[in-house]
Amino acid sequence: MYKIMIIEDDPSTREELLLLLENEGYNPEAVADFEDVPEQAVRFAPDLILLDIGLPGRDGFSLCAALRKSVKASIIFVTSRDSGLDEVRALSLGGDDYITKPYSVPVLLARIKAVLRRGGGLEQQETLEAAGIRLNLTRGTVSAGDKTALLTRNELQILACLMGHAGEIVSRADLIEALWDSRIYIDDNTLTVNMTRLRGKLAELGQPDLIATRRGMGYQL
């Protein structure tokens, strides 16, 4: 489990980040006392540090330099300061990424994942399996038994989202949101079209009724 250290002075943001990261399967710890942050970091030995810039006492920039010396963790700056100068400074001080507040949760999680992956370790999930079908995310194919079908990018993301919530009802709005997270900016009509095509492809694999429509609620795998 990856250890993430949260250095953030706003208590509610800190608490929520702790909850969020815990739910995402990380092992987070928040710094509440900003006196001896580098020592605390050495004790916790995190894989990743989320570092705010505007902190009481010592600011994030000088803290970053100190942390770089004491621990071998990736550092993501998370700050409400958004001038380009700050970003350049943060990255030149050894920050691995720079996220400005207010961020959206999917973006934050995606950037954390990306930095962890760069730092080594975190392997990208290649296949998903649910309801008797196997989805290959890197090749963009879906297979059932010995039959395989090639999916478009949109279809792949729709199916991945449904398979990630296998058994649950996923609303159309949730699906659209998930697609937007993957930089596919579709509307309601396009979703319908893609859904029809996806069902056609699943039918070719001998799984015509895999995706059920729950009227007024959404889809269910």
Partner 1 sequence: MTLREFLADGLERIMAWLICIVLSAMFLAATGTQTGVILILFIVLLLAFGIMELVCFVRQRIRLRELEAIMDQLDQKYLFAECVPGAKTLYERRLFELMHRAGRAMIGAVSDAQAAQREYREYVEGWVHEIKTPITAAGLICRNADNETRRRFMQELGQIEAYVERTLFYARAESPEKDFVIRQVQLSELAAEAIDRHRALLMQSGVRVETLGLERWVFTDDKWAVFILGQLLQNAARYRKRDPVVTLRADLVEKQVHLTVEDNGIGIPAHELSRVFDRGFTGSNGRSRGGSTGMGLYLCRRLADSLGLGLWLISEEGEGTAVTLVFPAKEKLTES
Under rule CB under 8 A, which residues in 170-189 are in contact with partner 1? Answer: 171, 173-174, 176-177, 180, 183, 185-189
| SS3 at position 170 | strand
| Residue 73 to residue 1: CA distance in whole angstroms | 14
Helix (H) or strand (E) holding 50: strand 48-51
Under rule CB under 8 A, which residues in 26-55 are in contact with partner 1? Answer: 54
**Residue 2 vs 98, nearer CB to partner 1:** 98
Q: How far is the CB of 32 from partner 1 (least distance, A)?
A: 16
**Residue 189 vs 209, nearer CB to partner 1:** 189
Q: Is 81 in the site for partner 1 (CB under 8 A)?
A: yes
Q: Among residues 170, 169, 171, 158, which one has the least CA distance to residue 128? A: 158
Compute how many other C-beta atoms are within 10 angstroms of the C-beta atom of residue 127.
Answer: 12
- Residue 26 CA: distances (Å) to CA of 12, 109, 169, 207: 19, 11, 26, 36
Q: How far is the CB of 42 from partner 1 (least distance, A)?
A: 28
**Binding residues for partner 1 (CB under 8 A):** 10, 12-13, 16-17, 19-20, 54, 80-85, 87-88, 100-105, 107, 171, 173-174, 176-177, 180, 183, 185-190
